[in-house]
Chain A
């Protein structure tokens, strides 16, 4: 556990010493800020319209602002995750520092989990910016905090899975760009897999749609903690990290 923390601290250090973390945080804050502004603008417009029509239409911040925004964050995340994970192992392989890690008295798994954890913490930092925006809703409105908390849990679980996949892909190459592009491709694919359920109901379509990371986020966005979906994400994390450790082992046999 101590070793995991050592690696994690070092990774966080290199994220925050280099411009990567700040670039990602800025971009994310801008993009999410724009989404938030739009969602809120639409919500206010709807509110005024329903007032003008004289209907006492029950307006719900959770339903109409937080829920779609959380879904948006989960999609924006797909674009940011490759940028977070692409350097994790590719960089170490390129500069040769992987030899230092691999010849230190530390297990492969500790290295992998440490790096993955650092990536997850950086992602959590991105989410902090959304919390900043949501804080305004709590200041001027009265949304329920529990669904939001579950939504965040879902975002972290989903990101954990995708980050694990990204970490795995990063062990496959020395080239960060390749690692990033491949991770992005996989993330995108895992997102759009869900579309087949729109026109096809056969078993294979159900399987494909089940594999989509977005499908499993719906319940979290609603604020429902669905064990099945949580287990899906945990499985993705586990499988991703397992493949990473196999890949690291094969690295030694191949290099």
Chain B
């Protein structure tokens, strides 16, 4: 459905997207993962014919973005990072306008408006002014706008950004529900989001393609190096930290143990693990040594860590620098 080959976007001083290639099959949900400024938005803008690529090619729904942009635009629905709403319009009026822009008319237009409203759960705000809607509703109107003409391909730029957790869940469910009818590309910098909604992941960083893989594979790879936080307390408050550390290191599958200084009398260790690590082993080791196990939880693996793991690079000095202006 989407074929991207050596797609590159150069600006005067920076390269926002550097020769990325990938393919998306029909009906798939693909997550476009990367830190802020990685070039996600720029890539999406090239796929939607908003920006022309500097070199390389992109074929969307059977048409080239440079050769036949109008045909591509007919077949895509696009939700930019901020929903493109006209604040002075009413919801239904706005959807009618977008529908007409996309070539719908008459009773078909009305049918599609009702369908999109129902699908995105915005039927109750049909007569409300867009400028007065809450962020969650605006996002959903943005989605409704993208699906109004029943496009083959949906391109969603950070569809859950800035929503509260409940709204995020609703939006994710909504996107999953849309998957059957459309091929979906959605960008995000939140790893769990990809795990929950997507089948395939494309990871980019600093404009370069880092990995494209299925979510299962990615999860497996990430789990290989799960990191766990353990809080251990000694009886009567005395605890030899060095002994604890040594004991923890002996647990099967543990590759590194680091003492994290903690406030009050809490002693927290961060444990990095390899394949074959079982949390139960760790818990048993602590208890059998006569200490109290106060907490055992897996530390959420940050996107950065997954990147590091996937790319095999060294620990970064800071957060990755944004590449390319206007990318996010």
Contact = CB atoms under 8 A, between A and B. Distances in A.
A78 B197 CA distance: 55
Given A6-B101, A10-B97, A105-B102, A255 B84 contact: no
B96 to A, nearest CB: 10
Interface stretch (A94-102, A156-164, A219-227): A94-102
Given A105-B74, A105-B103, A255 B88 contact: no
Interface in A1-51: 3, 6, 10, 13-14, 17-18
A3 B97 CA distance: 11
Interface string A136-158: 00000000000000000000000
Interface residues of A, number: 23
Contacts of A10: 86, 97
A99 B101 contact: no
Contact of A14 (B71, B78, B88): B88
Contacts of B71: 105
B264 to A, nearest CB: 48
A252 B51 contact: yes
Contact of A103 (B73, B81, B86, B93): B73
- For A3, A100, A103, A104, which residue has the most chain B Cβ atoms within 10 angstroms? A103
Given A101-B101, A102-B50, A105-B103, A96 B82 contact: yes
Interface in B87-130: 87-89, 93, 97-98, 100-103
Contacts, number: 70
Contact of B80 (A96, A106, A252): A96
A199 interface: no
B51 A255 contact: yes
A48 B24 CA distance: 85
B205 to A, nearest CB: 22
Contacts of A255: 51, 326
A95 B138 CA distance: 13
Q: Is the interface of A mostly helix, strand, loop or mixed?
A: helix
A107 interface: yes
Contacts of B51: 252-253, 255
Contact of A3 (B80, B86, B101, B145): B101
B224 interface: no
B29 interface: no
A104 B102 contact: yes
Contacts of B326: 255
A103 B69 CA distance: 9
A10 B88 CA distance: 11
B253 interface: no
Contacts of A253: 51-52
A241 B197 CA distance: 45
Contacts of B70: 105, 107
B20 interface: no
A101 B48 CA distance: 11
A103 B82 contact: no
Interface in A80-122: 95-107
- For A6, A14, A95, A105, which residue has the most chain B Cβ atoms within 10 angstroms? A105
A103 B52 contact: no
B88 A103 contact: no
A254 B80 CA distance: 18
A106 B88 CA distance: 22
Contact of B84 (A13, A18, A100): A100
A89 B205 CA distance: 33
B1 interface: no
A170 B103 CA distance: 27
B23 to A, nearest CB: 22
A104 B73 contact: yes
B233 interface: no
B49 interface: yes
Nearest to B76: A103
Contacts of B101: 3, 6, 100-101, 104-106
A14 B97 CA distance: 12
Nearest to A253: B52
A105 B61 CA distance: 14
A14 B74 CA distance: 25
Interface of A: 3, 6, 10, 13-14, 17-18, 95-107, 252-253, 255
The list of the 7 closest CB pairs from A to B, nearest first, reads A100-B84, A105-B73, A104-B101, A97-B84, A105-B74, A103-B48, A99-B80
Given A17-B89, A18-B88, A97-B86, 8 more contacts: A14-B88, A96-B84, A97-B85, A99-B45, A100-B98, A104-B73, A106-B73, A107-B70
17 contacts: A6-B101, A14-B88, A14-B89, A95-B82, A95-B84, A95-B85, A95-B86, A96-B81, A97-B85, A98-B84, A99-B84, A100-B145, A103-B50, A103-B78, A252-B50, A253-B52, A255-B51
